[in-house]
Amino acid sequence: MTKTIAEELAKKQQSISVSEFFTKNRHLLGFDNPKRALLTTIKEGVDNSLDACQEAKILPTIKVKIKQLEEERYSVEVEDNGPGIVKKQIPNIFAKLLYGSKFHTMIQSRGQQGIGICMDPDTLIPLGDGKVLPIGEIAEKKPNADLFVLTPDLKLGLGKIDKFWKIPSPKYLINLKTLGGKEINLTPENPVLIRSENGFEWKEAVELKESDYIAVSRKLGSHIKNIKIPLFDLLDNNINIDNPEFLDFLLYKLRKKYGTWDKVGRRFGISADRIKGWRKKYIKRRPTKALIKKFCKDLDISEERIIEECTRVGRLGTYVNVPQYINEKFMRFLGFISGDGYSQNKIHNRWGRNISFWNNNEYLREEFKNIVEDLFGIKCKCIKHSKGRGYMMQFSSSLVAELINKCDIPSGKKSDIFRLNSFLHRKDLLRPYLQALFDCEGSVSKERRNVNFMIRNKEMTYYLSLFLLQFGVISSINKLREDTRLCIRGINNLRKFQKEITFSHTTKKSDLNYIIKMESNKSNIETIPFIKKQLLNLKNSLNLSKKDFLYPRLLSKDKTVTFYTLEKIVNKLLSSVDNTGRIPIELQELYCLLNSDVVWTKIISRKTVSPKSPYVYDLTMKQGNNFIANGVLVHNSAAVLYSQLTTGKPAKITSKIGKNYPAHYYELKIDTKNNEPEIVIDKEVSFNSDHGTKVELEMEAIYQKGTRGVDEYLKQTSIANPHAEIIYVDPEGKKIIFPRASEELPKEPKEIRPHPHGIELGIFISMLQNTNSKTLTSFFTNDFIRVSSITAKRICDEAALKSTEKPQLMDRDGAEKLYRILQKTKLIAPPTNCLSPIGAEALQKSLEKEIPAEFFASVTRPAAVYRGNPFQVEAACAYGGQLEQEGPIKLFRFANRVPLQYQQSACAITKAVVDTNWRNYTLSQSSGALPQGPIVIAVHLVSIWVPFTSESKEAIAHYPEIIKEIKLAVQEVGRKIASHIRRTVRVREQRERASLFEKYIPEIASSLSNLTKSKKTDIQEKLNKILKKSLKDILQELPEEDKEDIKEEKKNEKKEKQSTLSSRRSRK
Amino acid sequence: MKKKKSNQLSALEGLGSEVVKQINKGKNPEIPVPIRALSNVEFDEKTKTVRLGKKISARYFFNVAHAKKFLQTLEVASISKNLLKEQKHASLRDVFYMAKRTIPGTKVNIVDEQTESDSVLEDLELITDQSREQLNVNANKNGSVAGKVVIEDKGDTIDWGRLGSGGWSIPSNVENIKFKKISAKYILYMEKAAVWERLHEDKFWDKQNCIIMSSQGQTTRGIRRLLQRLTSEFKIPIYILTDMDPWGHYIYSVIKFGSINLAHISEKMAIPNVKFLGIHTSDIEKYKLEKHLIKFKDTDLSRLKQIKEYAWFKDNKQWQKEFLEMKKLGAKAEIQALSSRGISFISDTYLPEKIKSKEFLD
């Protein structure tokens, strides 16, 4: 029965079209965020212009124009009246646009769109041909390699590398570890594919949680190129080739060509005597490999012929055989050596270097002996260990030892550093290598039913696990004291291991057989989490009953299922929907999941670590935007922006630097090989202003309105930069002008040296390395503020370091020690006059011109300090008018005059606003939420170092000092709103009450007329008269209840000088 | 009788014409109302009753804070006048519904809660110097009585010992009752109807030859008046049984000294010679009720503090000691806590022992 289903499945596989599935998954796997691309580019352009104008003390007028070229293709134009750019600096614009080039300057500057969505240089990338290389080496060694890319049907296909990126490291990286022992360091924004209740999702590394399921590769179907690798290539050029017949053949041919021996000698720069000596054959010395190659080239003899002839090589008259090509036997030999072998470092005078193989299995020793004889023509000696520690096979050859070293297996104590050279990473070659390695080092645990491999070489286990994936064998890695253990579990994996690699070691082989027999089908370790939703969708769209699912429980509880279980479910469903003919998309989806090349594994640890290298790397793929790194499926979204910016079209820059200078038009391209921009066109043009710069870019993007779009960005930018005029032409051709609110240029922020308490360890270390100071004392006093030479000396003393020591030579431990002491040392707070806030007045004016409200207020707090960094908070609010009455208030967040549009909920500003009790200010607010009401609140944080939560710089980190200041600022504007509301409410209530009296009068009159028999109308009339006369006095008797909450807050707050302002605008 | 009624009518009409006079003068009309609050209450050491002071507040119409109350006062006065004219009696609830309606053109009701009309009626008593019953407004019947007493009410002869399980329910106006035969030695008044039922079932009044009386919660005017008549006309001692908590003590205090709210009628109501039978703090240990206490809440504590400060308790050393003990205990005890010792423990043991030993608080 099962077989027929399997057969049908195979048939159906043909008929399942992935096209429907493809359209659904395309955006997901593409993850190109074209919506954000437009904004990011404009943001960089506008920030750049504002900064340039500020430096040149020009009141900026910035024009932004978006034109739609095709459906998802736009041209973006940013023009300013700034100082212009000289040619030499033109390439920097690109750098600025691409990376946000301002790194680590201690000056309040507009946000940097630092992009750096990449990984550590030693991250291992499996290539399509079976090689595994660290990402840092791919650029050098295989710039055009094929990598594994997840296709929409969840298979790992091959994609070509398009571009390679090397970017300065960010402040910290995210370190992820999975249940299976996979580990990767990524920049915080690097997205990783995860599976959640909602299906697939790309999530930035920084947002990942422990227990999220991420995609790791299940198998890597590398393609073998059937090219033989000549062993000859491995040999050094100065090695001697021992083949007298071939030599004679070459020499006579050469003499024929050049006439005499002398002429031959002259042609190749060798003496005739030497040639004579070779011919006489008694000279032990033979010509070198280099020479033979020269001869052959001269005589047009093919490479194959050389390889064929040169199979006996050596030095100093000692020769060994070598195989023509790297073959399975050679790989098995390498496997043995990697496992239980040893090659001597010391060269024995007579014998060369000893190579030995220690193993207690007689069969393996015998095999080793045979292989060595076969490969090199050398006989091994069997030696019993003097202290009874078993047996070994030994032979001596420097040449073989050299060959072994060439394959990245070093001599001496090799076990914790050996690798396998990447040219040997080929499925056909890896198989015998792995088998031999497992024969030596692998063991089969009958109790645990696994095959494991213990080795003191953590890096190599990562390689091995990627090698094994090429055979579809999933392995997990875990640490065991000093050793690392690679472990193969689960029936499918063990079967595949048995089929593809297995042991030749007899006991291990039978043990493997045994555990496979014993292991149940359910021990499938490949699992799929969160399939409830999909099953439910399937049930609903096909009108299935619960019984149609083998495990109805899965419909109610989101359990992680094994592939084995899922396979059974899918088979059952396939057979039950067979009659309908068409296979529904939901089932296709499950089918794709089941047959996918990725498997889902839990994150067990997520840490932030400081980067090991000054650079991180990323790749852009020609197809797809993802690849496998350290076995984990990662996204290369950083590069999306680059590729979008560089969609073939060059960037166009027009610049004029002064009235009497001509305007230049440049076209700029990026040389992706060197990752450097170059100017391709430079000509003089006319420009409609005395000075300024215009940048035009063409890009693939989607135009989006709303809070995260360009329109909102420009509006908020205009609020945060009252001195700027921004003119915006949107894709529909509509022109929006954001006028200037203040004619005053902002105060220039001052650059200050970093304060020791505001610096992080990573930066501290790089400062140590890059300083110009010659001693530690001068390093502390010159490179930091607020450190006196006495303090510096004390710090050095405490760290037990000489104050005259060179900072550049400090090792990591020393640096860490210094850093820790530095953080503990009491220092004067940094100066705060380096900041340049917008100013309460200007900020409020800005708000007044952009927000149609009736009441405005603003405040600038005095500067404060967090962790050695000075900062200052400003807040402004708008109330009422045409603002929406219902719903939560609108919160504008600014950092150093740049609007923050994303990640609102993660931001310290939001937290401070939410934590403020707005009910004190007459607004309604549910706990943990923004208050409700027709209010806009703008909060601006200026600092020399704004602590963003991540490199995307969209949310401010929750430092208590910062939150406190924001709260105080927000409370102050809150009070002003409250008193305004109370004022308006009171007027309204008074009016209501006056009318109430009118309504009461008839009632009073009728009661009184009943009591006294006076006429009702009479009384009524008189009462009305009194009311009219004394209305004013009556209303003034209202209770005063206004000042209570102000008292309450004053307690928390010291009286400080504050520049505050409030105004009311009459709008009717 | 008729003359009496016209007194009341003229009092109400006087109120109206006073207001009209002011209106005719073009003045903001006002009604003077004596303040009914602790601040305007004095304890008369001679009569041992709570008396109303002389503070008077003016209730203006053209004042945002007063307008509604002003309106309510006149409205209820008008209702009361109609009742008197038609010689009908209405309950407090009736008055509430007669006054409750929405003022045309507004969302405002003349009265929203019965407490508002009740309170205005009490004001009216002060303003007109006529009691509520004299204004033809009666409270709901509340409370039961049983014992060896025969009375005559509206021509019917009623034996309080032969009224089945319910007993006689006490009307709100007891002025016209005639006592025909009384052989009870004392009156036991209790806070809880449930306890009354317990004692009634055990024929406690028969065994002990007494009168048992109860209401649910605060003592109504009818009961207080009945108690006062019984003790003043027949010199029967009265013992009060309440929960051991500040609220129970206040019930005792109201019966004995008069209430703050109705200080103006204290002389008609207060019975200075009642005695507090229990539950005493000393009973807790004596009757092993420690495990049946209810812990004080904050409101209990603050009420205890208030009561302690009342002028009529302040110099009473016995009571101050009692309050102190209670504060120490930090807990209160209900009468029913005695049931923990057996359902009829109260009638068989507790009460007889108490009355025999005469351990009362005064």
My answer on whether B127 and B163 are in the same domain is no
Identity of the residue numbered A950:
S
Question: CATH number of the domain that B18 lies in?
Answer: 1.10.10.10
Place A31 in a pLDDT band, splitting at 50, 70 and 90.
very low
Query: Taking the alpha carbons of A567, A571, A572, A577 in that order, is the dihedral positive or negative?
Result: positive
Alpha carbons A231 and A306: distance in angstroms, whole number: 11
Query: How many Cβ atoms from other residues are within 10 Å of residue A1012's Cβ?
Result: 21
Last residue of a domain, one of B138, B154, B183: B138
Same domain, B185 and B203: yes
User: How many contacts, defined by CB atoms under 8 Å, are there between A and B?
Assistant: 83
The string of DSSP codes covering A685-718 is E--SSSSEEEEEEEEE-----STTSHHHHHHHHH
CB atoms within 10 A of CB A126: 26
What is the per-residue pLDDT for A7?
A: 43
Predicted pLDDT at A131: 78
**A966: closest CA among A829, A853, A871?**
A871
Please check the confidence at residue A674 and state whether its pLDDT lies above 80: no
Residue B362 maps to a domain: no
- Residue B308 three-state SS: helix
Rounded average pLDDT over A774-803: 88
Task: Spell out which residues of chain B touch residue A1038, defining contact as CB-CB under 8 Å.
Answer: 64
Lowest mean pLDDT among A528-542, A562-576, A668-682, A694-708: A668-682
Q: Does B74 touch chain A (CB under 8 A)?
A: yes
pLDDT bin (cut points 50, 70, 90) of residue A910 is very high
Is B310 in the active site? no
When computed from its CA atoms, the radius of gyration of chain A, rounded to whole angstroms, is: 38
**In chain A, what residues touch B15 (CB-CB under 8 Å)?**
1011
Q: Which residues pair with A894 in a beta bridge?
A: A899, A940
- Whether residue B272 is found in the same domain as residue B309: yes
Question: Is B24 in Cβ contact with A1010 (below 8 Å)?
Answer: no
Is B84 in CB contact (< 8 Å) with chain A? no
A992 contacts in B (CB within 8 Å)? Answer: none
Q: Is the pLDDT of residue A22 over 60?
A: no
Please, are residues A819 and A761 in contact by the beta-carbon 8 Å criterion?
Answer: yes
Strand order in the sheet with A476-480: A442-445, A450-455, A483-488, A476-480
Q: What is the mean pLDDT of residues B82-111?
A: 87
Tell me, yes or no, if B25 comes closer than 8 A to chain A by beta carbon.
no
Task: Kindly give the pairing relationship between strand A869-879 and strand A935-943.
Answer: antiparallel
Host domain of residue B105:
2-28+63-138
Same domain, B173 and B237: yes
Of the candidates A896, A939, A941, the one whose C-alpha atom is nearest the C-alpha of residue A746 is A896
Which residue is it, tokens 């509520």? B132
Nearest to A999 among B19, B24, B106 (CB): B106
Q: In this structure, are residues A910 and A961 in contact, taking their beta carbons and an 8 Å threshold?
A: no
The alpha-carbon gap from A752 to the nearest alpha carbon of chain B, in Å, equals 59
What are the angstrom distances between the C-alpha of A86 and each of A57, A539, A655, A662, A760? 18, 66, 8, 11, 36
Chain A nearest CA to B26, separation (Å): 6
Instruction: Tell me whether residue B52 is in a domain.
Output: no
Provide the pLDDT confidence category of residue B241 given band limits of 50, 70 and 90.
very high
Contacts of A662 (CB under 8 A, 6+ apart): A656, A684
Residues of chain B with Cβ-Cβ distance to A1037 below 8 Å are: 63-65
Name the pLDDT band for A377 (thresholds 50, 70, 90): confident
According to the per-residue pLDDT averaged within each range, which of A183-197, A614-628, A834-848 is highest?
A: A834-848
Do B115 and B183 fall into the same domain?
no
The per-residue pLDDT for A107 is 44
A272-281, A350-359, A594-603, A612-621: segment of lowest average pLDDT = A612-621
Considering the domain architecture, whether residues B82 and B200 belong to the same structural domain is answered as no
Out of A697-706, A939-948, B83-92, pick the least confident.
A697-706
Helix (H, G, I), strand (E, B), or coil: what is residue B4?
helix
What was the pLDDT predicted at A284?
Answer: 66
Min Cα distance A1003 → chain B (Å) is: 7
Are the Cβ atoms of B62 and A1039 closer than 8 angstroms? Answer: no
pLDDT at B5: 54
The pair of structure tokens assigned to B152 is 């005559």
Interface of A with B in 1004-1043 (CB under 8 A): 1004, 1006-1008, 1010-1012, 1014, 1019, 1022-1023, 1025-1027, 1029-1030, 1034-1035, 1037-1039
**Nearest CA among A678, A224, A286 for reference residue A425:** A224
| Residue B37 included in any domain | no
pLDDT digits (tens, 9 = 90+) for A802-821: 888 888 888 878 888 888 88
- For residue B348, the domain's CATH number is 3.40.1360.10
Residue A580 confidence (pLDDT) above 60: no
Q: What is the per-residue pLDDT across A413-449, written as a single tens digit (0 to 9) for each? A: 776 678 888 878 888 888 899 999 888 888 888 888 8
Cα–Cα distance for residue pair A470/A597, rounded to 1 Å: 11
Same domain, B123 and B233: no
- Report if residue B43 sits inside a domain: no
Mean pLDDT over all residues of chain B?
87
Q: Taking CB atoms and an 8 Å cutoff, what residues of chain A touch B110?
A: 1003
Give the integer Cα–Cα distance in Å for A16 and A284.
69
**pLDDT, mean of residues A857-869:** 88
- The CA distance from A987 to the nearest CA of chain B, in Å, is 14
Both B120 and B153 in a single domain? no
With CA atoms as reference, the chain B residue closest to A1001 would be: B71
Domain count, chain B: 2
Is residue B14 one of the residues assigned to a domain?
Answer: yes
What per-residue confidence (pLDDT) applies to B2?
44
Q: Is the pLDDT of residue A145 over 70?
A: yes
Per-residue model confidence as pLDDT tens digits over A1006-1047:
888 888 888 888 888 888 888 888 776 666 554 444 443 444
Enumerate the H helices of A825-959 as residue ranges: 840-850, 908-915
Residue A111 has pLDDT above 60, yes or no: no
Q: Are B189 and B251 in contact (CB under 8 A)?
A: no
Between A157 and B240, the more confident residue is B240
- Asked which of B118, B138, B158 is the last residue of a domain, the reply is B138
Question: Mind listing the domains of chain A with CATH numbers?
Answer: 31-115+644-738 (3.30.565.10), 124-218+599-635 (2.170.16.10), 231-321 (1.10.260), 328-522 (3.10.28.10), 756-824 (1.10.8.50), 840-1068 (3.30.230.10)
Q: B318 and B178 share a domain? A: yes
Contact call for A1022 and B23, based on CB within 8 A: yes
Contact B71 A1007 (CB under 8 A): yes
Task: Note whether A1010 contacts B81, CB cutoff 8 Å.
Answer: yes
Cα–Cα dist B161/A715, whole Å: 90
- Considering only CA atoms, give the Rg of chain B: 23
Q: What is the pLDDT of residue A318?
A: 80
The answer to whether residue B230 sits within a structural domain is yes
A1022 contacts B16? CB cut-off 8 A: no
What is the reported pLDDT for B1?
40
Least confident of A854-863, A1047-1056, B231-240: A1047-1056
**Chain A nearest CA to B5, separation (Å):** 15
- Kindly state whether residue B46 falls inside one of the protein's structural domains: no
pLDDT of residue A2: 37
Same domain, B198 and B242: yes
**Whether residue A246 has pLDDT greater than 60:** yes
Q: Give the Cα separation of A925 and A917 in Å (integer).
A: 8
A165, pLDDT greater than 70: no
Q: Specify the pLDDT at position A17.
A: 35
Average pLDDT (B181-198) is 90
Tell me: the pLDDT tens digits for A895-908?
Answer: 989 899 888 888 99
Cβ distance of A1004 and B70 shorter than 8 Å: yes
What would the mean pLDDT of B185-209 be, rounded to a whole number?
A: 90
From B97, B250, B287, B310, the catalytic residue: B97
Q: Distance between CA atoms of B197 and B174, rounded to whole angstroms?
A: 22
Residue labelled with tokens 């002398």: A262
| C-alpha separations of B261 from A907, B226, B264 in Å | 58, 19, 8
Helical ranges in chain B per DSSP H: 2-24, 67-86, 92-99, 114-128, 193-201, 204-208, 221-234, 246-257, 266-269, 281-286, 298-309, 311-314, 317-329, 345, 351-357
Task: Tell whether the model's pLDDT for residue A164 goes beyond 50.
Answer: yes
pLDDT at position A1062 is 44
In a domain, B315, yes or no: yes
More confident residue, A168 or A931: A931
Tokens of A180: 């299976």
Q: At A143, is the pLDDT very low, low, confident or very high (cuts 50, 70, 90)?
A: low
Region of poorest pLDDT, from A121-130, A285-294, A660-669, B219-228? A121-130
pTM (two decimals): 0.46
For A974-988, the pLDDT digits (tens) are 999 999 988 888 777
Q: Do residue B187 and residue B93 come from a single domain?
A: no
> Which residues lie closer than 8 Å to B22 by C-beta, 6 or more apart?
B28, B29, B30
Which chain B residues in 220-249 lie under 8 Å from chain A, judged by CB atoms? none
Calculate the average pLDDT of chain A: 78
Which of B78, B103, B138 is the last residue in one of the domains?
B138
Contact residues on chain B for A999, CB-CB shorter than 8 A: 103-106, 108
Q: Quick count: other Cβ atoms within 10 Å of Cβ A157?
A: 17
Q: Are residues B127 and B222 in the same domain?
A: no
